Amino acid sequence: MDKINTITKMPQQITVENLLEMSQRIKTLVEDGLVFAVQEDQGGIRSSRITLENDQIYMHCLQVQPPPPHAHTLQVSEVLGAMDPSSTLVHLDLAWGGSTRGRVHIRLSPNTPAARQFVLLCTGQTGVSYRNTKLHRVWNKGRPGEWVEGGDYEGKGGAGGAGIIDISGGQYRESGRAGDVRWGWYGGAATAAQFAITTRDCEGVVPFPTVFGEVVSGLEVVRAAANHSDITQVTVVDCGIVLNQ
């Protein structure tokens, strides 16, 4: 009854400050699946689960559905507007063989439009996202400079994934380290939403010039995906952004 009273006494709309402070009352709501971020536009109402895992607060990818009737809600714009744009942590959950194999956390570099695009595609704010997309290719498998590719939210086979913003400018890094996240420069606008994650150091191979992020945890999951017998069976089953960074 104490839990029920706590929930029913809370206002139906909470603030970002409430969420980030994570009092026991808010924690109870989040753990019970009663906190959602919402966005309404021409496509209707979309909602995003807010979860708490290992002391990290996640806003998951927006879905085309309203929140549950008794949910406590925040506006997506307010949630993201309260974040520090110079330090953005996103996640991709990878699955194959009928089960989720792990979560990959990626720290994005500031001042790069590719990083801003990556956030949009992890949160689904524009109506398209990386959720339910496939990894579609492994390059240099088992050799220095190995990397996997994904991000085709259109055909999911590697031929699509058009950019949703112009990512040609910005201060990109040149690097060849395992864990680098970059965009491919060879496909033009038609595939500009695609990304690559390096899984083995280049070791003498020419480094890549368009790095905009790095894997900070979960690289072993990406390496396991690269070693899977068929990379096209690997799915991004969920994605989103970490709110308390």
* Structure confidence at residue 203 (pLDDT): 82
- Topology of the domain comprising 88-242: Cyclophilin (2.40.100)
| Cα 150 to Cα 159: distance, rounded to the nearest angstrom | 10
CA 164 → CA 33, 87, 115, 116, 133, distances in Å?
31, 21, 12, 10, 16
Measuring CA to CA, how many Å separate 13 from each of 35, 74, 135, 170?
Answer: 9, 6, 37, 37
Which residue stretches of the chain have pLDDT < 70?
1-12, 185-187
Q: How far apart are CA 22 and CA 8, in angstroms?
A: 17
CA distances from 186 to 53, 172, 212 (A): 38, 16, 16
pLDDT at 219: 98
- Find out whether 163 and 117 touch, Cβ atoms under 8 Å: yes
Q: What pLDDT, on a 0 to 100 scale, did the predictor assign at position 12?
A: 61
CA dihedral over 46, 38, 243, 53, signed as positive or negative: negative
Integer Cα distance of 159 and 136 in angstroms: 10
Stated pTM of the model: 0.92
Delimiting residues of CATH 2.40.100.10 domain(s) in the chain = 88-242
CA-to-CA distance for 106 and 212, rounded, in angstroms?
10
C-alpha pair distances (Å), 119 with each of 6, 48, 116, 130, 224: 34, 14, 5, 10, 24
**Alpha helices per DSSP H over the chain:** 2-9, 16-21, 24-31, 76-81, 113-123, 219-227
pLDDT at 92: 98
| Cα three-residue angle 163-197-228, rounded to 5 degrees | 115
Confidence at residue 182, expressed as pLDDT on a 0 to 100 scale? 96
